[in-house]
Chain A
Amino acid sequence: MEILLATVLLTPVLLALVMPLLGRFLGAKVGWVALLAPVVSCAAVIKMYGLPLAERLPVNWEWVPSLGVNLTFMPDGLSLLYGLIVSGVGVLVVFYAACYLDDDHYRDHGKFYCYLLLFMAAMLGTVMASNLLMLFVCWELTGLTSFLLIGFLHDKAESQRGARMALLTTGMTGLVLLAGVVLLRVIYGTYDLATILAHSGVPAGSETLLLMAFICCFIGIAGKSAQFPFHYWLPNAMAAPTPVSAYLHSATMVKLGVFLTARLLPVFNDLELWMPLLTGIGFGTFLLGAVLALLSQDLKGVLAYTTVAQLGFLIGYYGLHVQGVPVTWDALHVLNHVFYKACLFMVVGIIDHSTGTRDLRKLGGLWRKMPIVGTAALLALATFAGLPPTTGFLSKELLLADLFALWQSHGGFQALWPLAVLTVGSAINVAVAVRVLGAFFGKPTHAVEDHFHAPSIGLQLPPVLLGTATLVCGVFAAGFGRFTQSFGGSPGRVVGTTELHLWHGVTPELITSAIVVVAGLVLYFAVGRVRWNRAEVPVWLRFDLLFDKVADGVPYAARGFNRAMGFESPGSFLYVICGVMVLVPACFLIPRWSELTAQAGQWSMLPSEPEGWMRWVVVLLVGAAAVCAASWKRVIPQLFAVSIVGLGISFYYVLYQGPDLAITQMLVESATLLLVLLVVLRLKRDGADSTPLPTIGRIRGGLRLAVSAGAGLLLGGGVLVFQQTPSPELDRAGDYYLAHSEAYAKGTNVVNTTVIDYRGFDTMFELMVLVIASLGCLGLLARRRTSGLRGRFGTGETDLFPVPNDFILRMIVVLGFVPLNLFAGYIFLRGHNLPGGGFPAGLISALSLILLSFVLGVHGVRKVVRVNPIGIAIAGVFLALAAALFPALVQGLPILHHFHVYVAGFYLGGAFWFDLGVYLAVVGTSLKIILPLMKSVHGLPGFVEEEEARFASLHCEPIDLQRPKTAGGRKEGR
């Protein structure tokens, strides 16, 4: 059993994988290789069918046992019936496709058969699966592969539209099905179908859940089987090549909904909604599909709508189940539809192939051209119309008999209206059949005469086989009936015992059938062919147009939403970000306001010692400077206010007992000031943005104030909360550092030993961040030359900010250079034990060089520092890295392990080298950021020439936010 099942499922998958490769060599002939898969699968299914019932055991392969997802397969009657349909029709369709898809009109045959075989494997997996999740996965895989198949001719807009519609509709409804599956798991505690089906009746206490599960599953079913209101996707999926339509859209994929209805019937049929929902939607769709088929002009569209109708018929049939009409003959109904619909699709494919059109209005007289196809079509249409002696007649008679029986036993409206719908719908079907038959009779039209070329024998064979099947099975009704029953029962399916006969006397069913045929003919001839040709589907029934509007509307709506929220302009969007940042915590805090204030009342906020009041003084100064920075409009005062804030904070760090921080903060602040000043001066000189911006509205101004005030208050409040000493007191990592700094790191400045020893790993990466930032700056500057604004940014003849020719200033700076660097060395060396270290020392050195550049010019500095600053920075990083790796490489200790060396009482251990690396990296990166910027700001080209060869390609694009392609050209043109 396992081997058989593996053969059924894996042959198409394995063969599909080699298809693309083979397709490259074989072209259209690859179809004959692909034929192997359905033939093998079909043989295996027949073998399974031949096994006695006792030997058809479930197969269980473990997949995700922890989630209860196993590859469980249950080859019962229902699975085998559908397995036979999928693989059997698969044989015919692949055979047909191999003849249909020639090398002249189609490309990528390998891909086509790959998709087709994958689809077949997914279908077989769905029908055989006995695990609901497994079933769902395969179900969705059929949707995915059908998307690929519908969109196979992907350069046609029609294919794109159809494929999108099919995927979205079946995919979305598939997700609803998933919800249903999960609900079933919630109810029964398992995904295993056999266990779920073994339950009888509605489990107590979960009636509502079961109802929800039913509705969810039914939405999935309706989506897949194109039931109202999802019927729109099937006609549009007809953009697929005809073999695909014949396979997916008549015989297999759309039948999945019917299959699942049959599968889940025992689970849901005790629900009161079962009968009204299934019969209502099913028979309603039957009537709707019939009417739409009559109004369509495209042959494939007609067939698609009749398929929709027939699927409604089948689903409605299952809906009758509860009312004492046992589902006895579902296999017969399904097979009947498979026979004639696949046949008709293939016939339409042949017509399309031979005449180049599928438009009913342009076709006529085909009988004379291709009598064999005509015969097959005649048989299939007779089946469709339900004429004796075909299977269609049997199918319709059986359903009518069921409905009459229902009427007699229950009576009333619920039996009468399906009867009425069936009668009217069948009459319309007769009219549709006559319309389609019109393509074969009468005089050959111009389209037919001009384009006709005869179809090959191979192309005609599958439809003829199917057409013959309808006739043979109809004539030998008893045998056919026994065959449909021979698959054996499955849960919910009763095996019928009555013998079928083609002729069972003059019964109400027969009389109704006769009325139906006459009414259909009257309907067709009363209106007449000419007027039918003018018919079209009314706009209010074109759900596909509505779908397109929605599907196209979503991006538009999203765009509108984006615009409304200001996502497209960063300036406005920042308001949204900051606003959310404020509002979300506020929503949590405001309801607990009283609680918070009560808690805050217990805190003593004000300092008790004089040094605490000193902090208040600094805070007031810094706060005032910050408010000034925010409220002033002019850039240079703003810059100085920001600098005052920074310097004030360094005092604040002093008061917080952080001398290292204070030094570093002060130096960083100076460097930032210089850097920003360079840019500010250049902007002022060029008069950039000298025109005042339009004033912002009062609302926006208020919003800005509110958002920033709210953000400030939130953070301040948060700080107040976090300041409170937690109880019990935390075990601080810092205490460990304090206790062991002297012993392990041989240093007494614990902040410094923490940075370069205990937490050296952080610092190492921090240095890399520095180098990356400086390289980023370099990239921004080096590419400036290609921006097309060359003319105004200096050509090297003039320095926009000439070096001041002031002797005293120059002397002060030059004479100060050496002491400053000596001081830096002192700060560096003492850093291990006293406040100082690599960071501040590096910044002092860098600042001394920058000062030098202000009086000597950039070239003057480059005479002093002959190496490339980025080289210094990278050397620093490598030095730090080496100091970190040294213990690991030499002593076999973990990296960053301390090692201590004293040379003449002078500490030269790992920390020293690491700190030296920090020093070099800071010097290098600061210089590498400021000096090129200075050169560029001064309009000196030397930098560009120097760096361009090294870091930037000559042909890079400028940064351009709005017009990536055209802007450069436009600027050049000016």
Chain B
Amino acid sequence: MTNQLEAAVLIAVLFGSGIFLCLSRRMLSMLFGFILISNAANLVLIAISGDPTAKSAATLAGHSPDALPPVDPLPQALILTAIVIGFAVAAYLTVLIYRLYTDRGTASVPTLFDPKAEPVVGGEDKS
């Protein structure tokens, strides 16, 4: 009834890659995974908001009665909010990774959680 298989494919790829990256051992990869997943989540909202084919944007300026019907504005409003909050969370994660790195000298999980490993301070050893 709808012709949006491509949205499902895109979401599957993004979500799969996001989970794959989140299962990585490097913090930065996890961050990338998070960004991909939050994008995928936004896409889910828009993908299930209806087929956009033969519809116009939800802007009524210069709207004549015989023009194309507009798309549903509510999911878009929700996504707008979600994009900005996703940015805030991604920014917080970035700073968190940076902070962990400055404290522990590493940005990878095994080194961070290995009870045996001393906190290795990479730069100091090199200089």
The answer, yes or no, to whether B65 is at the interface (CB within 8 Å) is: no
Residues of A within 8 A of B100 (CB): 959
- Asked whether A687 lies within 8 Å of B39 as measured between CB atoms, the reply is no
Quick check: is A901 within 8 A (CB to CB) of the other chain?
no
Task: Write the B88-100 contact mask toward A (1 if CB under 8 angstroms, else 0).
Answer: 1111101111111
Q: Which residue in chain A gives the minimum CB-CB distance to B29? A: A638
Complex-state Cα separation, A386 to B58, whole angstroms: 97
Which residues of A lie under 8 Å from residue B56 when comparing CB positions?
657
Q: Which of A679-704 contact B (CB under 8 A)?
A: 679-680, 682-683, 686-690, 693-694, 696, 704
Q: Inside 8 A of B107's CB, which chain A residues have their CB?
A: 683, 688-689
Of B4, B28, B42, B94, which contacts A723 at CB under 8 A? Answer: B4
**Chain A count of residues within 8 A CB distance of the other chain:** 128
A749 to B63, CA, bound (A): 11
Known pairs A676-B31, A689-B108; A642 contacts B13 (CB<8 A): no
Q: Which of B3, B72, B101, B122 contacts A604 (CB 8 A)?
A: B3
* Cα distance A839–B81 in the bound complex, in angstroms: 9
* B39 & A712 in contact (Cβ 8 Å cutoff): no
User: Is the C-beta of A754 less than 8 angstroms from some C-beta in chain B?
Assistant: yes
Q: For A623, A658, A791, which residue has the most chain B Cβ atoms within 10 angstroms?
A: A658
Contacts of A679 in B (CB 8 A): 28, 94-95, 97-98, 101
* B87:A671 contact, CB within 8 angstroms: yes
A755 at the interface (CB under 8 A from B): yes
Q: Decide: B119 and A967 in contact? CB cutoff 8 A.
A: yes
Among residues of A, the one whose C-beta sits closest to the C-beta of B26 is: A689
Q: Do residues B76 and A711 form an inter-chain contact, with CB atoms below 8 A?
A: no
Indicate whether A407 reaches chain B with its CB closer than 8 angstroms.
Answer: no
Q: Is A207 an interface residue (CB 8 A)?
A: no
Whether A770 touches B84, Cβ cut-off 8 Å, given contacts A575-B23, A709-B16, A716-B15, is yes
In the docked arrangement, what's the CA distance between A833 and B62, Å?
Answer: 10
- Give complex CA distance A770, B91 in Å: 10
Q: Which chain B residues lie closer than 8 Å to A734 at the CB level?
A: 58, 72-75
Q: Answer whether residue A759 sits at the interface, using C-beta atoms and an 8 A cutoff.
A: yes
Q: How far is the CA of A45 from the CA of B124 in the complex (A)?
A: 81
* Given A658-B46, A659-B59, A933-B98, A759 contacting B15 (CB threshold 8 A): no
A546-596 at interface with B (beta carbon < 8 Å): 569-571, 574-575, 578
Q: Quick one: given A715-B40, A715-B44, are A668 and B98 in contact (CB under 8 Å)? A: no
Q: SS class of chain A's interface: helix, strand, loop or mixed? A: helix
Segment of A13-21, A295-303, A771-779 in the binding face: A771-779
Nearest B residue to A626 via CB reads B17
Q: Given contacts A689-B106, A749-B59, are A630 and B20 in contact (CB under 8 A)?
A: yes
Instruction: A657 to B43: give the CA distance in the assembly, Å.
Output: 13
Cα A724 to Cα B31 with chains together (Å): 33
Interface residues of A in 602-650 (CB under 8 A from B): 603-609, 611-612, 615-616, 619, 622-623, 626-627, 629-630, 635, 638-639, 642, 645-646, 649
Chain A, Cβ-Cβ closest to B39? A649
Taking Cβ atoms with an 8 Å cutoff, the residues of A that contact B are 569-571, 574-575, 578, 603-609, 611-612, 615-616, 619, 622-623, 626-627, 629-630, 635, 638-639, 642, 645-646, 649, 652-653, 655-661, 664-665, 668, 671-672, 675-676, 679-680, 682-683, 686-690, 693-694, 696, 704-705, 707-709, 711-713, 715-717, 719-720, 722-725, 732-735, 737-738, 741-742, 748-751, 754-755, 758-759, 762-763, 766, 769-770, 773-774, 776-777, 780-781, 783-784, 787, 789, 791-793, 833-835, 839, 922, 925, 929-930, 933, 936-937, 958-962, 967, 971
Q: Add 20 more A-B contacts to A608-B53, A716-B12, A751-B58 (CB < 8 A).
A: A606-B3, A622-B14, A645-B36, A649-B43, A657-B52, A694-B110, A719-B11, A719-B47, A738-B58, A751-B77, A751-B80, A754-B76, A763-B81, A776-B95, A780-B99, A781-B95, A833-B59, A929-B95, A971-B119, A971-B121
Q: List 10 A-B contacts (CB under 8 A).
A: A630-B16, A657-B70, A686-B122, A708-B23, A711-B19, A712-B13, A719-B12, A750-B70, A834-B59, A929-B91
